Amino acid sequence: MPFSFSREALQGLAARVIDLARAGGATAAEAEVSEGSGLSLGVRHGEVETIEHNRDKGIGLTVYLGQRRGHAATSDFSDDALARTVDKALTIARYTAEDDCAGLADPDLLAKHIPDLDLFHPWEVGIDGAMDLARACEAAALAVDARITNSEGASLSSQVSHFIYANSLGFSGGYPGSRQSLSCAVIAEEDGAMQRDYWYTTARAASDMDSPESVGRRAGERTVRRLKGRKLATRQCPVLFEAPIATGLIASFVSAVSGGHLYRKTSFLLESLGMQVFPDFFQLLERPFQPRGLSSSPFDSEGVATRDRDVVRDGVVQGYFLGSYSARKLGLKSTGNAGGNHNLIVPSTGEDFAALLKKMDTGLLVTELLGQGLNMVTGDYSRGAAGFWVENGVIAYPVEEITVAGNLKDMFRGIVALGTDLETRGSRQVGSILIDRMTVAGD
Protein backbone atom coordinates (compact mmCIF):
# COMPACT_ATOMS: atom_id res chain seq x y z
CA MET A 1 0.00 0.00 0.00
CA PRO A 2 1.64 3.30 -1.13
CA PHE A 3 0.44 5.27 1.90
CA SER A 4 2.02 6.39 5.16
CA PHE A 5 -1.27 6.21 7.07
CA SER A 6 -3.61 3.26 7.25
CA ARG A 7 -7.36 3.58 6.74
CA GLU A 8 -7.77 3.01 10.47
CA ALA A 9 -5.34 5.85 11.22
CA LEU A 10 -7.35 8.25 9.05
CA GLN A 11 -10.56 7.14 10.75
CA GLY A 12 -8.94 7.77 14.14
CA LEU A 13 -7.82 11.26 13.15
CA ALA A 14 -11.28 12.18 11.88
CA ALA A 15 -12.91 10.88 15.06
CA ARG A 16 -10.40 12.75 17.22
CA VAL A 17 -11.03 16.20 15.73
CA ILE A 18 -14.81 15.66 15.83
CA ASP A 19 -14.58 14.68 19.51
CA LEU A 20 -12.42 17.75 20.23
CA ALA A 21 -14.95 19.97 18.46
CA ARG A 22 -17.84 18.53 20.44
CA ALA A 23 -15.87 18.98 23.67
CA GLY A 24 -15.27 22.61 22.68
CA GLY A 25 -18.98 23.31 22.37
CA ALA A 26 -19.79 22.40 18.75
CA THR A 27 -23.34 21.16 18.27
CA ALA A 28 -22.23 19.28 15.13
CA ALA A 29 -19.01 18.68 13.21
CA GLU A 30 -17.66 16.99 10.10
CA ALA A 31 -14.13 16.21 8.97
CA GLU A 32 -12.32 14.89 5.93
CA VAL A 33 -8.84 13.41 6.29
CA SER A 34 -6.89 12.56 3.15
CA GLU A 35 -3.48 11.50 1.93
CA GLY A 36 -2.08 11.30 -1.58
CA SER A 37 1.12 10.70 -3.49
CA GLY A 38 2.28 10.42 -7.05
CA LEU A 39 4.80 10.82 -9.84
CA SER A 40 4.70 13.31 -12.73
CA LEU A 41 7.28 13.27 -15.52
CA GLY A 42 7.69 15.28 -18.71
CA VAL A 43 9.94 14.81 -21.73
CA ARG A 44 10.57 17.12 -24.69
CA HIS A 45 12.53 16.14 -27.79
CA GLY A 46 13.35 12.90 -26.01
CA GLU A 47 15.00 14.60 -23.05
CA VAL A 48 13.56 14.55 -19.56
CA GLU A 49 12.49 18.08 -18.56
CA THR A 50 10.64 17.51 -15.29
CA ILE A 51 10.41 14.83 -12.63
CA GLU A 52 8.12 15.51 -9.69
CA HIS A 53 7.26 13.36 -6.72
CA ASN A 54 4.40 14.62 -4.59
CA ARG A 55 3.16 13.48 -1.19
CA ASP A 56 0.57 15.43 0.77
CA LYS A 57 -1.94 15.02 3.54
CA GLY A 58 -4.55 17.17 5.22
CA ILE A 59 -7.51 17.49 7.55
CA GLY A 60 -10.43 19.80 6.92
CA LEU A 61 -12.82 20.38 9.82
CA THR A 62 -16.20 22.11 9.74
CA VAL A 63 -17.98 22.88 13.01
CA TYR A 64 -21.46 24.18 13.75
CA LEU A 65 -22.57 26.21 16.73
CA GLY A 66 -26.28 25.93 16.12
CA GLN A 67 -26.67 27.64 12.73
CA ARG A 68 -23.23 29.25 12.79
CA ARG A 69 -20.52 27.59 10.71
CA GLY A 70 -16.72 27.64 10.94
CA HIS A 71 -14.06 25.84 8.95
CA ALA A 72 -10.32 25.30 9.39
CA ALA A 73 -7.72 22.96 7.90
CA THR A 74 -4.21 21.73 8.59
CA SER A 75 -1.60 19.45 7.06
CA ASP A 76 -0.01 18.84 10.48
CA PHE A 77 -1.39 15.74 12.21
CA SER A 78 0.27 16.38 15.60
CA ASP A 79 -1.96 16.65 18.67
CA ASP A 80 -1.14 20.33 19.16
CA ALA A 81 -1.94 21.17 15.52
CA LEU A 82 -5.24 19.31 15.67
CA ALA A 83 -6.23 21.17 18.84
CA ARG A 84 -5.33 24.54 17.24
CA THR A 85 -7.31 23.69 14.13
CA VAL A 86 -10.39 22.82 16.16
CA ASP A 87 -10.02 26.04 18.15
CA LYS A 88 -9.74 28.12 14.96
CA ALA A 89 -12.84 26.52 13.46
CA LEU A 90 -14.82 27.18 16.66
CA THR A 91 -13.60 30.79 16.81
CA ILE A 92 -14.67 31.40 13.22
CA ALA A 93 -18.09 29.90 13.94
CA ARG A 94 -18.61 32.21 16.92
CA TYR A 95 -18.16 35.28 14.70
CA THR A 96 -20.21 34.00 11.76
CA ALA A 97 -23.79 35.04 11.13
CA GLU A 98 -26.49 32.44 11.62
CA ASP A 99 -27.73 30.69 8.50
CA ASP A 100 -30.87 28.59 8.81
CA CYS A 101 -29.75 26.34 5.94
CA ALA A 102 -26.35 25.51 7.46
CA GLY A 103 -25.75 22.09 8.97
CA LEU A 104 -24.86 18.48 8.32
CA ALA A 105 -26.66 16.38 5.74
CA ASP A 106 -30.03 14.88 6.67
CA PRO A 107 -29.33 11.67 8.64
CA ASP A 108 -31.79 9.60 6.60
CA LEU A 109 -29.88 10.40 3.39
CA LEU A 110 -26.45 9.23 4.58
CA ALA A 111 -24.96 6.20 2.84
CA LYS A 112 -25.64 2.95 4.67
CA HIS A 113 -23.70 0.67 2.34
CA ILE A 114 -20.39 1.50 0.67
CA PRO A 115 -19.66 -0.90 -2.21
CA ASP A 116 -16.21 -1.44 -3.70
CA LEU A 117 -16.24 0.28 -7.08
CA ASP A 118 -12.76 -0.94 -8.14
CA LEU A 119 -11.27 2.57 -8.14
CA PHE A 120 -7.80 1.77 -6.79
CA HIS A 121 -5.11 0.55 -9.18
CA PRO A 122 -1.65 1.77 -8.13
CA TRP A 123 0.87 1.73 -10.96
CA GLU A 124 4.46 0.84 -10.13
CA VAL A 125 5.73 2.49 -13.27
CA GLY A 126 8.94 3.99 -11.83
CA ILE A 127 10.97 6.83 -13.34
CA ASP A 128 12.66 4.72 -16.02
CA GLY A 129 9.38 3.19 -17.11
CA ALA A 130 7.68 6.59 -17.18
CA MET A 131 10.50 8.03 -19.30
CA ASP A 132 10.21 5.18 -21.82
CA LEU A 133 6.44 5.61 -22.15
CA ALA A 134 6.59 9.39 -22.53
CA ARG A 135 9.41 9.16 -25.08
CA ALA A 136 7.51 6.56 -27.11
CA CYS A 137 4.44 8.81 -27.09
CA GLU A 138 6.33 11.89 -28.27
CA ALA A 139 8.28 9.93 -30.90
CA ALA A 140 5.03 8.60 -32.37
CA ALA A 141 3.68 12.14 -32.66
CA LEU A 142 6.81 13.52 -34.30
CA ALA A 143 6.87 10.63 -36.79
CA VAL A 144 3.41 11.40 -38.19
CA ASP A 145 4.48 14.07 -40.69
CA ALA A 146 7.63 16.00 -41.62
CA ARG A 147 5.72 19.24 -41.09
CA ILE A 148 5.66 18.56 -37.35
CA THR A 149 8.68 20.65 -36.49
CA ASN A 150 8.47 21.16 -32.75
CA SER A 151 7.11 19.58 -29.60
CA GLU A 152 5.64 20.79 -26.34
CA GLY A 153 6.49 17.36 -25.00
CA ALA A 154 4.79 14.33 -23.53
CA SER A 155 3.77 14.04 -19.88
CA LEU A 156 2.93 11.06 -17.70
CA SER A 157 1.22 11.24 -14.31
CA SER A 158 0.41 8.52 -11.80
CA GLN A 159 -1.50 9.51 -8.65
CA VAL A 160 -3.01 7.62 -5.72
CA SER A 161 -4.98 8.88 -2.73
CA HIS A 162 -7.31 7.78 0.02
CA PHE A 163 -9.60 9.61 2.42
CA ILE A 164 -12.08 9.30 5.25
CA TYR A 165 -15.11 11.54 5.65
CA ALA A 166 -16.81 11.45 9.06
CA ASN A 167 -19.39 13.49 10.92
CA SER A 168 -20.96 13.72 14.36
CA LEU A 169 -24.06 11.87 13.16
CA GLY A 170 -21.99 8.69 13.28
CA PHE A 171 -21.14 8.43 9.59
CA SER A 172 -17.60 7.39 8.66
CA GLY A 173 -16.60 6.23 5.21
CA GLY A 174 -13.89 6.47 2.62
CA TYR A 175 -11.91 4.59 0.02
CA PRO A 176 -8.68 4.71 -2.00
CA GLY A 177 -8.49 5.80 -5.62
CA SER A 178 -5.99 6.15 -8.43
CA ARG A 179 -5.68 8.10 -11.67
CA GLN A 180 -3.15 7.58 -14.45
CA SER A 181 -2.68 9.82 -17.50
CA LEU A 182 -0.44 10.32 -20.52
CA SER A 183 -0.56 13.30 -22.89
CA CYS A 184 1.33 14.77 -25.82
CA ALA A 185 1.27 18.10 -27.70
CA VAL A 186 3.18 18.99 -30.88
CA ILE A 187 3.49 21.88 -33.32
CA ALA A 188 3.34 21.70 -37.12
CA GLU A 189 4.47 24.39 -39.57
CA GLU A 190 3.75 25.07 -43.24
CA ASP A 191 4.37 28.23 -45.27
CA GLY A 192 5.27 30.15 -42.12
CA ALA A 193 2.02 29.31 -40.32
CA MET A 194 2.06 27.12 -37.23
CA GLN A 195 -0.63 24.98 -35.60
CA ARG A 196 -0.71 23.10 -32.31
CA ASP A 197 -2.87 20.26 -31.03
CA TYR A 198 -2.71 17.48 -28.48
CA TRP A 199 -4.23 14.24 -27.26
CA TYR A 200 -4.30 12.36 -23.97
CA THR A 201 -5.51 9.23 -22.23
CA THR A 202 -6.54 8.82 -18.61
CA ALA A 203 -7.97 6.01 -16.51
CA ARG A 204 -8.10 4.56 -13.01
CA ALA A 205 -5.90 1.64 -14.14
CA ALA A 206 -2.90 1.82 -16.47
CA SER A 207 -4.22 -1.24 -18.31
CA ASP A 208 -7.29 0.78 -19.39
CA MET A 209 -5.24 3.56 -20.99
CA ASP A 210 -4.58 3.90 -24.72
CA SER A 211 -1.08 2.93 -25.82
CA PRO A 212 1.62 5.65 -25.89
CA GLU A 213 1.97 5.17 -29.63
CA SER A 214 -1.74 5.69 -30.31
CA VAL A 215 -1.84 8.82 -28.11
CA GLY A 216 1.17 10.31 -29.88
CA ARG A 217 -0.12 9.41 -33.33
CA ARG A 218 -3.50 10.98 -32.57
CA ALA A 219 -1.80 14.16 -31.32
CA GLY A 220 0.29 14.37 -34.49
CA GLU A 221 -2.63 13.72 -36.83
CA ARG A 222 -4.81 16.30 -35.10
CA THR A 223 -2.04 18.89 -35.40
CA VAL A 224 -1.26 18.35 -39.08
CA ARG A 225 -4.89 18.42 -40.18
CA ARG A 226 -5.21 22.00 -38.87
CA LEU A 227 -2.60 23.41 -41.29
CA LYS A 228 -3.76 25.86 -43.98
CA GLY A 229 -6.72 27.02 -41.91
CA ARG A 230 -9.07 29.55 -43.50
CA LYS A 231 -11.55 32.09 -42.21
CA LEU A 232 -15.26 31.95 -42.97
CA ALA A 233 -17.73 34.63 -43.91
CA THR A 234 -20.44 35.17 -41.29
CA ARG A 235 -23.40 32.82 -41.77
CA GLN A 236 -25.93 30.56 -40.09
CA CYS A 237 -25.42 26.83 -40.49
CA PRO A 238 -25.53 23.48 -38.68
CA VAL A 239 -22.72 22.95 -36.16
CA LEU A 240 -21.24 19.62 -35.08
CA PHE A 241 -19.41 19.72 -31.75
CA GLU A 242 -16.71 17.03 -31.63
CA ALA A 243 -17.14 14.74 -28.62
CA PRO A 244 -14.35 16.21 -26.42
CA ILE A 245 -15.90 19.67 -26.99
CA ALA A 246 -19.49 18.43 -26.66
CA THR A 247 -18.88 17.54 -23.01
CA GLY A 248 -18.75 21.30 -22.36
CA LEU A 249 -22.35 21.68 -23.52
CA ILE A 250 -23.41 19.06 -20.97
CA ALA A 251 -21.31 20.83 -18.34
CA SER A 252 -23.20 24.06 -19.07
CA PHE A 253 -26.52 22.30 -18.53
CA VAL A 254 -25.27 20.76 -15.27
CA SER A 255 -24.16 24.18 -14.05
CA ALA A 256 -27.52 25.71 -14.96
CA VAL A 257 -29.47 23.13 -12.93
CA SER A 258 -27.05 23.03 -9.97
CA GLY A 259 -27.98 24.40 -6.56
CA GLY A 260 -25.78 27.49 -6.40
CA HIS A 261 -27.10 29.02 -9.63
CA LEU A 262 -30.67 27.99 -8.84
CA TYR A 263 -31.03 29.44 -5.36
CA ARG A 264 -29.15 32.60 -6.34
CA LYS A 265 -31.48 32.86 -9.37
CA THR A 266 -28.53 33.21 -11.74
CA SER A 267 -29.54 30.42 -14.14
CA PHE A 268 -31.36 30.48 -17.46
CA LEU A 269 -33.06 27.22 -16.40
CA LEU A 270 -34.82 28.36 -13.22
CA GLU A 271 -37.79 26.18 -12.21
CA SER A 272 -36.98 23.75 -15.01
CA LEU A 273 -38.11 20.56 -13.21
CA GLY A 274 -40.63 18.92 -15.51
CA MET A 275 -39.69 21.26 -18.35
CA GLN A 276 -38.91 20.07 -21.89
CA VAL A 277 -35.37 21.41 -22.41
CA PHE A 278 -34.03 18.90 -24.98
CA PRO A 279 -35.60 16.93 -27.87
CA ASP A 280 -37.65 13.91 -26.82
CA PHE A 281 -34.87 11.49 -27.85
CA PHE A 282 -32.40 13.04 -25.39
CA GLN A 283 -31.56 11.22 -22.14
CA LEU A 284 -29.05 12.20 -19.42
CA LEU A 285 -28.23 9.43 -16.96
CA GLU A 286 -26.23 9.65 -13.74
CA ARG A 287 -24.50 6.38 -12.89
CA PRO A 288 -22.30 6.73 -9.76
CA PHE A 289 -21.53 3.01 -9.42
CA GLN A 290 -19.66 2.36 -12.67
CA PRO A 291 -16.65 0.12 -11.86
CA ARG A 292 -13.42 2.08 -12.44
CA GLY A 293 -15.47 5.17 -13.38
CA LEU A 294 -13.52 8.43 -13.21
CA SER A 295 -16.35 10.03 -11.23
CA SER A 296 -17.72 6.97 -9.46
CA SER A 297 -18.53 7.32 -5.77
CA PRO A 298 -20.90 5.60 -3.33
CA PHE A 299 -21.49 8.89 -1.47
CA ASP A 300 -20.91 12.59 -1.98
CA SER A 301 -18.67 14.96 -0.02
CA GLU A 302 -21.27 15.16 2.77
CA GLY A 303 -21.76 11.40 3.12
CA VAL A 304 -25.09 11.43 1.27
CA ALA A 305 -25.67 8.22 -0.66
CA THR A 306 -25.43 8.54 -4.43
CA ARG A 307 -27.91 6.73 -6.66
CA ASP A 308 -28.58 5.88 -10.26
CA ARG A 309 -31.05 8.35 -11.71
CA ASP A 310 -32.30 9.80 -14.98
CA VAL A 311 -31.57 13.53 -14.77
CA VAL A 312 -33.23 14.09 -18.16
CA ARG A 313 -35.77 11.63 -19.55
CA ASP A 314 -37.19 12.04 -23.05
CA GLY A 315 -35.87 15.61 -23.06
CA VAL A 316 -37.63 16.57 -19.81
CA VAL A 317 -35.65 17.63 -16.72
CA GLN A 318 -36.29 15.13 -13.90
CA GLY A 319 -33.83 16.39 -11.28
CA TYR A 320 -31.30 18.99 -10.20
CA PHE A 321 -27.75 18.68 -8.80
CA LEU A 322 -27.96 19.60 -5.13
CA GLY A 323 -25.95 19.38 -1.94
CA SER A 324 -27.57 19.79 1.47
CA TYR A 325 -27.20 23.58 1.69
CA SER A 326 -28.58 24.39 -1.77
CA ALA A 327 -31.36 21.83 -1.30
CA ARG A 328 -32.51 23.56 1.88
CA LYS A 329 -32.37 26.92 0.14
CA LEU A 330 -34.73 25.53 -2.49
CA GLY A 331 -36.95 23.59 -0.10
CA LEU A 332 -35.80 20.28 -1.62
CA LYS A 333 -33.69 17.25 -0.65
CA SER A 334 -30.02 16.71 -1.46
CA THR A 335 -29.48 14.69 -4.62
CA GLY A 336 -26.09 13.40 -3.46
CA ASN A 337 -24.18 15.89 -5.59
CA ALA A 338 -22.25 17.90 -3.00
CA GLY A 339 -18.87 18.09 -4.70
CA GLY A 340 -20.12 17.47 -8.24
CA ASN A 341 -21.79 15.03 -10.61
CA HIS A 342 -21.06 11.32 -10.95
CA ASN A 343 -20.57 9.72 -14.38
CA LEU A 344 -23.13 11.49 -16.55
CA ILE A 345 -23.99 9.52 -19.69
CA VAL A 346 -25.79 10.77 -22.80
CA PRO A 347 -26.84 7.74 -24.91
CA SER A 348 -26.24 8.00 -28.65
CA THR A 349 -28.94 8.27 -31.30
CA GLY A 350 -26.98 5.64 -33.25
CA GLU A 351 -24.87 7.60 -35.76
CA ASP A 352 -21.11 7.19 -35.88
CA PHE A 353 -18.94 10.24 -36.63
CA ALA A 354 -19.01 9.72 -40.41
CA ALA A 355 -22.81 9.42 -40.32
CA LEU A 356 -23.04 12.67 -38.33
CA LEU A 357 -21.03 14.47 -41.03
CA LYS A 358 -23.36 13.09 -43.71
CA LYS A 359 -26.42 14.09 -41.68
CA MET A 360 -25.04 17.63 -41.32
CA ASP A 361 -24.25 17.71 -45.07
CA THR A 362 -22.86 21.26 -45.11
CA GLY A 363 -21.79 23.08 -41.96
CA LEU A 364 -19.13 23.57 -39.31
CA LEU A 365 -17.29 20.90 -37.32
CA VAL A 366 -15.96 22.46 -34.10
CA THR A 367 -12.84 20.83 -32.61
CA GLU A 368 -11.60 23.64 -30.35
CA LEU A 369 -13.26 26.39 -28.32
CA LEU A 370 -11.60 29.48 -26.87
CA GLY A 371 -12.69 31.80 -24.07
CA GLN A 372 -15.61 31.53 -21.67
CA GLY A 373 -18.41 33.37 -23.46
CA LEU A 374 -21.45 32.03 -21.57
CA ASN A 375 -23.98 34.19 -19.76
CA MET A 376 -25.49 31.79 -17.21
CA VAL A 377 -28.38 34.16 -16.48
CA THR A 378 -29.62 34.46 -20.08
CA GLY A 379 -28.07 31.37 -21.72
CA ASP A 380 -26.38 33.50 -24.38
CA TYR A 381 -23.42 31.58 -25.78
CA SER A 382 -20.50 32.97 -27.81
CA ARG A 383 -17.13 31.25 -28.10
CA GLY A 384 -14.06 31.61 -30.24
CA ALA A 385 -13.67 28.42 -32.27
CA ALA A 386 -11.59 26.43 -34.73
CA GLY A 387 -12.41 23.32 -36.68
CA PHE A 388 -13.36 22.26 -40.22
CA TRP A 389 -15.81 23.28 -42.88
CA VAL A 390 -17.85 20.33 -44.15
CA GLU A 391 -19.42 20.10 -47.60
CA ASN A 392 -21.65 17.28 -48.85
CA GLY A 393 -20.89 15.30 -45.67
CA VAL A 394 -17.11 15.41 -46.19
CA ILE A 395 -14.51 17.55 -44.39
CA ALA A 396 -13.40 20.16 -46.96
CA TYR A 397 -10.79 22.32 -45.18
CA PRO A 398 -9.73 23.58 -41.73
CA VAL A 399 -11.09 26.88 -40.43
CA GLU A 400 -9.85 29.22 -37.71
CA GLU A 401 -10.44 32.66 -36.14
CA ILE A 402 -14.22 32.26 -36.06
CA THR A 403 -16.91 32.58 -33.39
CA VAL A 404 -19.91 30.31 -32.82
CA ALA A 405 -22.90 31.93 -31.13
CA GLY A 406 -26.43 31.15 -30.04
CA ASN A 407 -28.54 30.70 -26.93
CA LEU A 408 -28.23 27.47 -24.98
CA LYS A 409 -32.00 27.07 -24.74
CA ASP A 410 -32.20 27.09 -28.54
CA MET A 411 -29.05 24.99 -28.86
CA PHE A 412 -30.36 22.29 -26.52
CA ARG A 413 -33.71 22.15 -28.31
CA GLY A 414 -31.92 22.20 -31.65
CA ILE A 415 -29.90 19.01 -31.05
CA VAL A 416 -30.41 16.77 -34.09
CA ALA A 417 -28.22 13.77 -33.31
CA LEU A 418 -25.80 12.33 -30.73
CA GLY A 419 -22.81 10.31 -31.90
CA THR A 420 -21.56 6.88 -30.94
CA ASP A 421 -18.01 8.28 -30.54
CA LEU A 422 -18.37 8.46 -26.76
CA GLU A 423 -15.88 10.65 -24.85
CA THR A 424 -15.02 8.64 -21.71
CA ARG A 425 -12.09 10.57 -20.25
CA GLY A 426 -14.03 12.54 -17.64
CA SER A 427 -17.22 12.82 -15.59
CA ARG A 428 -19.46 13.48 -18.63
CA GLN A 429 -19.69 10.78 -21.28
CA VAL A 430 -21.19 11.95 -24.56
CA GLY A 431 -20.53 11.58 -28.27
CA SER A 432 -20.35 14.36 -30.83
CA ILE A 433 -23.43 16.62 -30.78
CA LEU A 434 -25.05 17.95 -33.97
CA ILE A 435 -27.07 21.17 -33.61
CA ASP A 436 -29.38 22.26 -36.41
CA ARG A 437 -28.40 25.96 -36.62
CA MET A 438 -26.05 28.46 -35.04
CA THR A 439 -24.49 31.75 -36.04
CA VAL A 440 -20.89 31.41 -37.22
CA ALA A 441 -19.14 34.77 -37.26
CA GLY A 442 -16.01 35.34 -39.30
CA ASP A 443 -14.99 37.94 -41.88
Question: Could you give the CA distance from residue 161 to residue 177 in angstroms, rounded to a whole number?
Answer: 5
9-48 b/e (C-beta count within 10 Å ≥ 16 → b): ebbebbbbbbebbeebebbbbbbbbbbbbbbbbbbbeeee
DSSP H or E stretch at residue 329: helix 324-330
Provide the terminal-to-terminal Cα distance of the chain, rounded to the nearest Å.
58
On the 0-12 / 13-18 / 19+ scale of CB atoms within 10 A, 56 is exposed
Query: Under a CB-based contact definition with an 8 Å cutoff, are residues 126 and 132 in contact?
Result: no
Helix (H, G, I), strand (E, B) or coil at 53: strand
Segments of the chain scoring below 70 in pLDDT: 1
Cα torsion 92, 95, 100, 101: sign: negative
Question: Could you give the CA distance from residue 221 to residue 198 in angstroms, rounded to a whole number?
Answer: 9
What does the pLDDT look like over 67-115, one tens digit per residue?
999 999 999 999 999 999 999 999 999 999 999 999 999 999 999 999 9
What's the CATH fold of domain 7-224?
Answer: PmbA/TldD fold (3.30.2290)
Helices 79-94, 7-23: axis angle to 10 degrees equals 50
Query: Under a CB-based contact definition with an 8 Å cutoff, are residues 29 and 18 in contact?
Result: yes
pTM: 0.94
Q: Please provide residue 15's backbone torsions phi and psi, each rounded to the nearest 5 degrees.
A: -65, -35
The CATH 3.30.2290.10 domain(s) of the chain lie at 7-224
Give the pLDDT confidence score for residue 1 in this predicted structure.
Answer: 57
